[in-house]
Structure 1
Amino acid sequence: MNTLRFSADKDTGVAVVTLNRPERLNAVDAEMVAELVALWRELRFDDAVRAVVLTGAGDRAFCTGIDRDFVVPQPSSPYMQDDPLLRIGPKTNDLWKPVVAAVRGMACGGAFYLLGESEFVVADTTAAFFDPHTTYGMVSAYESVLMAARMPYGEVARMMLMGTAERISARRAHEIGLVSELSEPGGALEAAVRCATVIAGYPAEGVQGTVRALWAAGEAGRAQAFAQAPHLIALGNLPAERQAALFEGRRRGGFRTR
């Protein structure tokens, strides 16, 4: 794998998956999409792995969403939307082993596809969460749906609507329930592995059944909301050239953290 690192401890049953494009703030490109899909599906058959920790390389970002150099051709019909990030999560690939996310630095935009399909999030105090979509004339659809299941409505609405003007600090994310545990800087991975080790020590059938039940609790509502997303994106997104102009004009703007 070129965009991921993978390691597994056979004694504990815990695997660590690392998004490994630190020079691009672990942004997702076509190769990472393909490698994540292949890895999640392969892990379904690896009984030695009973729990997974997902993290990002480097200290600047967990993941900053889709790489802006990754051009995704879109159908002309508003009834169809080709979103490659919909394929990068473990649940989408029928993996029902528990996944714990360990976040250091920025997690924004498309990162929420991964956080939304993790069981819970551990973060260090450098973590910051935000969604840039509205700033650049785009609809935050799938990201909003996934985070609405993790955060109070007012909090997720504020994060999605404020765009790049505001970032949610790790401490605030912990207060509102997006983050389940805070660690010192650089300690999120160790804390997440500790949790995953406990979970991996339990009988796999009961653990995986619980993961499936938890996901099922919001499955119907999530499917209904996802069904509307392509139309909302097609109607609300600015043309690509206007998005690019907004990006160039605003990328040096400041932000506040709360």
Structure 2
Amino acid sequence: MSIDLQLDQEGIALVTINRPERRNAFDAEHYRLISEAWQTVRDDPAIRVAVITGAGDKAFSAGADLKTYVGRESSMSEHWLTQKDQLLNRGLEVWKPIIAAVNGYCIGGGMTLLLATDIRVASEHATFGLSEVKRGIVAANGGTQRVVAQLPYPIAMELLLTGDAIDAETALRWGLINKIVPHDRLLDEAMQYARRVAANAPLALQATKELAVKAPELGLSAGLRMEQYVNRMLRMTEDAKEGARAFQEKRAPVFKAN
């Protein structure tokens, strides 16, 4: 039982939630481990893009392991430890692109994790839902926040208020995921996306993601201005010069994140 992180020579990190006997649900220890994994993705300059998936063929993640959380006593002071074991879906800023390979149940906290990723590929048998209201709690860690930003309001509210799950075809129709593939091709498809992303300039990728994620809070006028500032900085980088040279020489660029 662990959170596994493997890095290949192309700068692609594969993060695997490895607790299949519990449908890859998170107890306190696994939340700590996934926090560490995301910090590694954020901080390791060798990593350009990450793919997140679940072990086995039944679940991406069933979210929080409620047996370990419901009724658990904790100090009120924990409520203000907002940076402790910070998560991707709870405010940890990871500007490197993240691709989800959804291999089964994507429920509760698994769904809120999905909502914090950038590109999403799912198996044909994947299932999605925010089921927290059925358990007397709310879809935390961004569940109530991101779903209304990413889906039409009545669709988001249907998911939040009924707690009912949807299948992969419905998720695709609503724009929750990018593509459905046969299960045996899932990871290959996610890695193909990752390779296409990783071939681009790392600094430009991170800048693009940050600008896009912050666009709603910036507003159009400030967002346009931020684009100008960012592009002005990026034009001075070696990667921008390499991109121009490679275009002129009709070859693939070799980016070094500098």
* TM-score (ref. length: structure 1): 0.76
Establish whether residue 35 from structure 1 lines up as the match of residue 63 from structure 2.
no
1:47 aligns with 2:45: yes
The residue that corresponds to 2:134 in the other structure is 135
SS in 2 for 1:93: coil
Give CA deviations for 1:54-99 in whole Å, capped at 9, x if unaligned: 000111110011012323535569xx57889982217833321100
In structure 1, the partner of 2:113 is 114
Q: Is this contact kept in 1: 2:120–2:179, CA < 8 A?
A: yes
Residue in 2 that maps onto 1:101: 100
User: Does residue 185 in structure 1 map to residue 183 in structure 2?
Assistant: yes
Question: What is the identity percentage for the equivalent residue pairs of Structure 1 and Structure 2?
Answer: 32
| 1:210-229 paired onto structure 2 within 5 Å | 210-219=208-217
The amino acid across from 2:94 in the alignment is L
Distance 1:187 1:150, change over 3 A: farther
Maintained 8 Å contact 2:111/2:129: no
Aligned CA RMSD, in angstroms, stands at 2.6
Match in the other structure for 2:7: 8
**Which amino acid in 2 is paired with 1:5?**
D
CA distance in 2, matches of 1:172, 1:108: 15
1:144-174 alpha-carbon deviations (Å, 9 max, x no partner) = 21222221111111112222xx321101100
Equivalent in the alignment of 1:92: 91
Specify whether residues 29 and 83 from structure 1 end up closer, same or farther in structure 2 by C-alpha distance, changes over 3 A only: farther
Q: Structure 2: which 5+ runs fail to align?
A: 220-258
Matches within 5 A, 1:132-171: 132-141=131-140, 142-163=142-163, 166-171=164-169
Classify 1:35/1:178 alpha carbon distance in 2 versus 1 (closer, same or farther; 3 Å): same
Count, aligned residues: 216
Structure 1, unpaired ranges of 5+: 222-258
Question: Could you give the per-residue CA deviations for residues 206-238 of structure 1, whole angstroms, max 9, x where no partner exists?
Answer: 1110111111123579xxxxxxxxxxxxxxxxx
Q: 2:198 — aligned with what?
A: 200
The CA distance in 2 between the partners of 1:82 and 1:65, in whole Å, is 21
Of 207, 211, 219, 1:209 maps to 207
Retained in 1: the 8 A contact 2:31–2:85? no
Matched AA of 1:94 = E
Contact 2:23 2:60 in 1 (8 A): yes
8 A Cα contact 1:64 1:107, kept in partner: yes
**8 Å CA contact retained: 1:86, 1:113:** no
| Amino acid corresponding to residue 209 of structure 1 in structure 2 | A
The structure with the largest alpha-carbon Rg is: 2
Look up the SS of the partner of 1:138 in the other structure. coil
Which residue identity does 2:42 align to in structure 1? R
Task: Tell me which amino acid in the other structure corresponds to 1:109.
Answer: G
Report the Cα distance in structure 2 between the residues aligned to 1:97 and 1:51, rounded to whole angstroms: 6
Choose between structure 1 and 2: higher helix proportion.
Answer: 2
C-alpha distance in 1 between matches for 2:29 and 2:97: 24
C-alpha distance in 2 between matches for 1:125 and 1:117:
21
